[in-house]
């Protein structure tokens, strides 16, 4: 058969918050979320309540929550942060997720991802904000080595799917 063995799908919608703030804000968030926001860029942490925290840089995180939770979580964090300098923003519609799975997933991704995603250096649980097919993506390797999620700015979603479909070569 022609092409790479990969399936491309759009995962269920989730809530997403963009969190900016210094060490004090991080501590406030940690307490509020019941788990630690990761401190180093391109690290991923699972937090209680089915939340995922991606560290973009030491004062910048994306917090993924279940759909519909973004409002309540945002309000509780805002309340806790109070007057301490911070910026919390609902970005649930800013990004769009695409899920790739299958044995050839890396064969497809290496066509557009310039960072090293070899299983030795990018195993399950890895994440990176990086260049992807001339745009920006949050690239995450999920539990098993052959499932990836890519979050792109939502106006690029269709392009990204078209691009991946082309890269798949079917």
Residues that bind other proteins (CB under 8 A): 2-3, 13, 18, 20, 40-42, 56-60, 85-87, 89-95, 107, 110-111, 113-116, 118, 120-121, 128-131, 133-136, 153-159, 162-163, 166-167, 169
User: Of 52, 6, 47, 14, nearest to 154 (Cα)?
Assistant: 14
Distance in angstroms (rounded) separating the CA atoms of residues 44 and 72 = 22
Query: Which CB atom, from 33 or from 164, has the smaller least distance to other proteins?
Result: 164
Query: Which CB atom, from 34 or from 116, has the smaller least distance to other proteins?
Result: 116
Query: Which CB atom, from 46 or from 87, has the smaller least distance to other proteins?
Result: 87
Query: Which CB atom, from 114 or from 143, has the smaller least distance to other proteins?
Result: 114
Written as six digits, the tokens of 69 are: 């939770």
Query: Which CB atom, from 4 or from 48, has the smaller least distance to other proteins?
Result: 4
| Nearest distance, CB of residue 75 and other proteins, angstroms | 14
| Nearest distance, CB of residue 12 and other proteins, angstroms | 13
The 3-state secondary structure of the chain reads: CCCCCCEEECCCCCEEEEEEECHHHHHHHHHHHCCCCCCCCCCEEEECCCEEEEEEECCEEEEEECCCCHHHHHHHHHHHHCCCCEEEEECCCCEEEEEEECCCHHHHHCCCECCCCCCCCCCCCCEEEEEECCEEEEEEECCCCCEEEEEEEHHHHHHHHHHHHHHHCC
Written as six digits, the tokens of 144 are: 């098993």
| Nearest distance, CB of residue 68 and other proteins, angstroms | 13
| Nearest distance, CB of residue 76 and other proteins, angstroms | 18
| Nearest distance, CB of residue 48 and other proteins, angstroms | 26
């Amino acid at each position: 058969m022609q092409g790479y063995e990969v399936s491309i799908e759009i995962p269920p919608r989730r809530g997403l918050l963009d969190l900016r703030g210094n060490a004090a804000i991080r501590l406030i968030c940690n307490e509020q979320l019941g788990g630690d926001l990761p401190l180093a860029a391109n690290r991923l942490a699972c937090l209680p309540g089915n939340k995922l925290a991606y560290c973009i840089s030491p004062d910048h995180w994306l917090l993924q929550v279940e759909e519909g939770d973004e409002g309540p979580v945002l309000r509780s964090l805002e309340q806790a942060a109070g007057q301490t300098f911070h910026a919390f923003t609902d970005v649930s519609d800013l990004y769009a997720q695409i899920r790739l799975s299958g044995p050839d997933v890396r064969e497809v991704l290496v066509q557009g991802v310039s960072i090293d995603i070899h299983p030795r250096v990018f195993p399950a649980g890895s994440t990176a904000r990086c260049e992807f097919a001339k745009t920006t993506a949050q690239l995450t390797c999920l539990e098993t080595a052959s499932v990836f999620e890519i979050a792109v700015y939502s106006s690029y979603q269709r392009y990204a799917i078209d691009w991946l479909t082309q890269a798949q070569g079917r």
